[in-house]
Amino acid sequence: MSVVRAEDSSSASEPVAKPRVRDRIFETACELFYRHGIRAVGIDAIVCAANTNKMSFYRSFPSKDELVADYLRHKDVLFWRWWDAVVAPFEGQPRQQVEALFEAHVNKTCSKESRGCGLANAAVEIVEDEHPGRAVVVSHKSEIRRRFRALAAAMQARDPEPLGDALMLLMEGGYLARLTFPKGGPVASALVAARTLMDAHGA
């Protein structure tokens, strides 16, 4: 993703059927990182699960840290794609948009494959400021806060900033709770709580 191939260059413009190895590795890595955590998954495990070898890995990625950053960037892209899709049907109706977001969030987070939010999990695992994934996590969470506050403002709520922050806390709390409660537990109450908060803020 961030690692640019030196050239696509030359002849054909055909965007179809690019080489497969890099993508196979990347997909495998994404799944392993999400399911078992970043630090828990070594290069050998990735490479082995992708039915390839370490050399092929290091021909496609400069380092594990950079792969992790790519993984997080990918999660970021998917997240906002999801968000925008959920929100789209209610253009101009911020209150309905937030309700739709929380309904989708509850569904997603309660599914049995869910391990919460990959980016939030990375916030726990990656402490070093120099790690290339750190910036991805920080900007992702900042954007979430910004959007929730913007939605709160758009719905003409009293005190939109605290409302936006509270909505964010509800959502993030759900991610965390998912990790200890089998089918999501408290997450199920996130939608009604969000509704209650918005009502109380006159939106």
Contact criterion met (CB below 8 Å) for 125 and 38:
yes
Picking from 150, 169, 170, 168, the residue whose alpha carbon sits closest to that of residue 160 is 150
Complex with DNA: residue 4 or 12, whichever CB lies closer: 12
56 binds DNA (CB under 7 A): yes
Site for a second copy in 177-196 (CB under 8 A): 177, 179-181, 185-190, 192-193, 196
Stretch that binds DNA, among 62-70, 76-84, 136-144, 178-186 (CB under 7 A): 62-70
- A 10 A CB-CB count for 17 gives 6
User: Which of 31, 45, 86, 141 contacts DNA by CB under 7 A?
Assistant: 45
Q: CA 106, CA 133: separation in Å to the nearest integer?
A: 26
54 binds DNA (CB under 7 A): yes
Q: CA 182, CA 111: separation in Å to the nearest integer?
A: 10
22 binds DNA (CB under 7 A): yes
Residue 182: both structure tokens together: 């089998």
Stretch that binds DNA, among 52-60, 83-91, 118-126, 157-165 (CB under 7 A): 52-60
Contact criterion met (CB below 8 Å) for 150 and 164:
yes
Complex with DNA: residue 6 or 84, whichever CB lies closer: 6
List the x/- string, 144-163, binding to a second copy by CB under 8 A. -x-------------x-xx-
Tokens 């992708």 identify what position? 50
How many Cα atoms sit within 13 Å of 143 on the Cβ side? 12
171 contacts: CB under 8 Å, gap ≥ 6: 101, 102, 105, 144, 148, 190
Q: Which spans of this chain sit near a second copy (rule: CB under 8 A)?
A: 35-37, 39-40, 115-116, 120-121, 123-125, 127, 137-138, 141-142, 145, 159, 161-162, 165-166, 168-177, 179-181, 185-190, 192-193, 196-197, 199-201
